[in-house]
């Protein structure tokens, strides 16, 4: 990367536009890159991270010191911290991406018309992906690896707290990319912490950026969704529900509810609200609440739930629809499927919602009527994950309705074109 940090007085717009043009050119080359070349690059990227791990850790130490001085909390510092183990995990992730099948060039559908025209929908890369990440340098390696494998160029804007770490990592990755004969601009880091960079990327850099992938806190994702002039793969929040129907097996319901909330309360697929069918309240409500409390979960309930167990705290209005990302759950008794579906439509985030029931008809109605990216029957919401779906690594979960809904893996980082082969056909 020949571009260096700019004079803070000057506008970064020309630099950003120039990077966009480089990315677009690189995307044209990457779209045609052979699978083994891309895989070799991913292998080299992994190797460079490992041989460069001391450099990375030294830069990371500086980022950590600055973040501590700013008074960042322990969870923030932990996300920012890289060590030998985390760098080895980053390298392993890149090797795993190399082992995934290449989606580019595969035929999604093919048919022959009565006039002999052979029509195929063929996967091609999306183009240029703009990534706007806050301070979690380890996950950006995976994300950039996925983009490269799918034949896309990447422009990454790193949060300022992890900037030095990101810069060292970017230089190592670029060395690996160019050593593999791929264009230098395949993976670019925006070389400034100037916050204007985000705005320029959201504007699409004069058509150079095809899609934005933000990863970070709610305020970042909210800004991106509100301001982006190009498509966005993101979810603002995961307000996931489990609805326990009157025909639910109690043991299964307890296992699923406790797992959906407590396995990892901080992930986007964690359940935030438990809805219990009034028809199951007398038999299931108290045992479900007890299982949650026993697992260390705070329970905030409506009046009926409070009556079921004195340890339940009263739920306030803003508990419905809250994304706790913590061992807290809101519990409400509802009048059957209709109220459950209406509650999810009103308070949910179209991410992931589950029903527990032994009644197949009720299950089918729930799966059809709940309008979320992922709907589950008799399974934990924590399965909302590309790896668990068998897609390999993922960049995240998207809750928009277009193109990539649910886990965003390799295939979701491609689009398609129609390839038509004829023998001289003209249209009558």
Q: Which stretches of the chain bind a copy of itself, using CB under 8 A?
A: 28, 31-32, 105, 111, 113, 117, 119, 124, 126-127, 210-211, 231, 249, 252, 255-256, 258-260, 263, 345, 363, 367-369, 371-380, 382-383, 388-390, 401-403, 405-406, 415-427
Nearest to 230 by CA among 155, 158, 310, 177: 155
- Is the CB of 280 or the CB of 363 nearer to a copy of itself? 363
- Is the CB of 91 or the CB of 344 nearer to a copy of itself? 344
Longest Cα–Cα distance in the chain: 79
Q: How far is the CB of 233 from a copy of itself (least distance, A)?
A: 10
Q: How far is the CB of 388 from a copy of itself (least distance, A)?
A: 7
- Is the CB of 117 or the CB of 326 nearer to a copy of itself? 117
- Is the CB of 313 or the CB of 405 nearer to a copy of itself? 405
Q: How far is the CB of 177 from a copy of itself (least distance, A)?
A: 21
Q: How far is the CB of 367 from a copy of itself (least distance, A)?
A: 5
- Is the CB of 325 or the CB of 367 nearer to a copy of itself? 367
From residue 195, how far is each of 12, 71, 426 by CA, in Å?
10, 20, 54
Q: CB under 8 Å to 374, separation ≥6 — which residues?
A: 351, 352, 353, 381, 384, 406
Judge whether 233 and 396 are in contact, CB under 8 Å: yes
Strands 187-189 and 396-398: unpaired
- Is the CB of 162 or the CB of 352 nearer to a copy of itself? 352
- Is the CB of 42 or the CB of 374 nearer to a copy of itself? 374
- Is the CB of 43 or the CB of 207 nearer to a copy of itself? 207
Q: What token pair was written down for 60?
A: 């990371």
Per-residue H/E/C for 5-43: CCCCCCCCHHHHHHHHHHHHHHHHHHCCCCHHHHHHHHH
Q: How far is the CB of 385 from a copy of itself (least distance, A)?
A: 8
Beta strands, E only, 162-237: 187-189, 211-215
Helix 163-179, helix 137-149: angle, nearest 10:
30
Strands 107-112 and 118-125: antiparallel
Q: How far is the CB of 24 from a copy of itself (least distance, A)?
A: 10
Q: How far is the CB of 258 from a copy of itself (least distance, A)?
A: 8
- Is the CB of 26 or the CB of 258 nearer to a copy of itself? 258
- What span, in angstroms and rounded, lies between the C-alpha atoms of 50 and 57? 11
Q: CB under 8 Å to 395, separation ≥6 — which residues?
A: 142, 143, 146, 147, 213, 215, 233, 408, 409, 412, 413
The enclosing H or E element of 331 equals strand 328-334
- What span, in angstroms and rounded, lies between the C-alpha atoms of 371 and 183? 42
Strands 153-158 and 128-133: parallel
């Amino acid at each position: 990367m020949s571009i260096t940090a700019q004079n803070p007085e000057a506008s970064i717009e020309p630099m950003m536009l120039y990077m966009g043009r480089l990315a677009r050119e690189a995307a044209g080359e990457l779209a045609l890159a052979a699978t083994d070349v891309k895989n070799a690059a991913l292998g080299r990227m992994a190797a460079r991270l490992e041989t460069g791990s001391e450099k990375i850790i030294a830069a990371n130490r500086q980022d950590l010191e600055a973040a501590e001085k700013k008074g960042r909390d322990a969870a923030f510092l932990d996300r920012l911290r890289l060590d030998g183990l985390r760098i080895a995990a980053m390298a392993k992730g890149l090797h795993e991406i190399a082992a995934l099948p290449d989606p580019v060039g595969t035929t999604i559908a093919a048919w022959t018309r009565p006039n002999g025209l052979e029509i195929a929908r063929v996967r091609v890369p999306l183009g240029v992906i703009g990534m706007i990440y806050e301070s979690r340098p380890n996950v950006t390696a995976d994300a950039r690896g996925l983009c490269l494998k799918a034949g896309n160029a990447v422009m990454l804007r790193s949060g300022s707290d992890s900037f030095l770490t990101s810069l060292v990592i970017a230089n190592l990755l670029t060395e690996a990319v160019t050593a593999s004969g791929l264009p230098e601009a395949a993976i670019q880091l925006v070389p400034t912490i100037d916050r204007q960079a985000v705005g320029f990327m959201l504007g699409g850099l004069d058509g150079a950026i095809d899609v934005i992938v933000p990863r970070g806190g709610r305020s970042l994702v909210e800004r991106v969704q509100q301001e982006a002039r190009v498509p966005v793969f993101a979810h603002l929040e995961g307000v996931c529900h489990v609805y326990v129907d009157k025909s639910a097996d109690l043991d299964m319901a307890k296992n699923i509810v406790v797992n959906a909330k407590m396995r990892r309360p901080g992930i986007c697929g964690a359940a935030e609200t438990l809805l219990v069918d009034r028809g199951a309240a007398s038999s299931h409500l108290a045992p479900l609440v007890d299982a949650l409390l026993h697992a260390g979960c705070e329970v905030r309930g409506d009046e009926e739930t409070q009556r079921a167990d004195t340890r339940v705290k009263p739920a306030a209005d803003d508990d419905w629809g809250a994304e706790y990302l913590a061992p807290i759950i809101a519990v409400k008794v509802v009048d059957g499927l209709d109220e459950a579906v209406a509650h999810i439509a009103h308070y949910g985030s179209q991410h992931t919602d589950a029903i527990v029931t032994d009644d197949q008809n009720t299950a089918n109605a729930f799966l059809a009527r709940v309008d979320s990216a992922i709907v589950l029957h008799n399974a934990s919401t924590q399965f909302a994950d590309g790896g668990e779906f068998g897609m390999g690594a993922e960049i995240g979960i998207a809750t928009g309705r277009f193109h990539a809904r649910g886990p965003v893996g390799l295939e979701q980082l491609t689009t398609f074109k129609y390839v038509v082969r004829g023998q001289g056909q003209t249209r009558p």
